[in-house]
Amino acid sequence: MQIKVNDYEETEHFRAICEDCYNISRTCGYDRLTMSHIHNTSEILFVESGEADYYIAGKKYHVEPYDILVIGAMEFHRSVITDPPYQRYGLTIKPAYLRGMIPDKDLQKVFSTPPAERFVESYKHIDPKIFAKLIGLLQDLAEEQQGEKDYRAQMQRGVLTQTAVLLFRVLRMEREAGEISAADTAMREIKDHIDLHFQERLTLETLSRRFYLHPSTISKEFKRCCGHNLNKYINMVRICRAASLLETGTDSVAEISVKCGYESENTFLRQFRSIMGMSPLQYRKSMREWMRKMSEGK
């Protein structure tokens, strides 16, 4: 299935990125646009033409044709198109859906942001034949989203696994020895609970009671397993949802604060600015301006 360039409505595109199990897109920016963004899905970009700079966790990633860039879920990132037209395929996928489809922990690493040094070593100038094969797999995934098909889930699992394995090989990743520990399993369960119940009251104590684990165990193991301390992760999930509501809805900041689980609007404003580098209203304005420019360029 051929994927057309910019073949979507901007608001629907942002909704799909955050809410669909996975989404395939093909986007072209014709101007030197800048965008700051965060979403609850992992994103893999396959660059066809043009150049852009991405800033993730204080590191710069420069992409050009035949480069692949992976942005992990809930990684705040800023993109700057430096050489338009900048055209790329994008695959976004929800972490929980990914784990259900591909339980292998090593293959799941494919969907995490690489260190900047690793990106330069292994993610740039992919062999054109392999790049074309990956695009073909994206087209197969897009095809499976169309209409009702028998054994759709099985086909999606197969194509996603092929994509992950091919990326694992071409990006020269290494397998890790050992079984998944009980602590890792417990932390994944806590992480999944937060992802689903972020709008509820979540504290170290409430999670400790729910999962029958000592608070100190959760504090130590959660950061080791998930890369962020517990409170930081809870706020990232909530702010991620807030960003989505600001992009696609008309709710007030106060309404969004409540929907995202904050008891205090001031706490919400402080956490949003801390993670996003701007206020909620500034973010809404910047995203609407970006959508307007993208629509004008089609």
Please give the pLDDT value at position 298: 59
pLDDT value of position 251? 96
* pLDDT at res. 290: 87
Among 26-40, 170-184, 258-272, 277-291, the range of highest mean pLDDT: 258-272
149 or 279, which is more confident? 279
Element (H, E) at 267: helix 265-276
- The answer to pTM > 0.75 is yes
Q: In b/e form, how buried is each residue of 6-44, taking b as 16+ CB within 10 angstroms?
A: bebebeebbbbbbeebbbbbbbbbbeebebbbbbbbbbb
- Going through 94-215 in order, the beta strands assigned E by DSSP cover none
- Percentage of residues in the chain with pLDDT exceeding 90? 82
pLDDT at 177: 63
Listed ranges 8-17, 34-43, 125-134; the one with the highest mean pLDDT: 125-134
Q: What does the pLDDT average to over 174-201?
A: 89
Does the pLDDT value for residue 296 go beyond 80? no
Average pLDDT, the chain: 94
pLDDT per position as a tens digit, 236-272: 999 999 999 999 899 999 999 999 999 999 999 999 9
Q: What is the rounded (10 degree) CA torsion for 148, 151, 155, 160? A: 80
Pairing of the two strands 22-29 and 77-93: antiparallel
**Could you give the domains of the chain?**
9-173 (2.60.120.280), 180-285 (1.10.10.60)
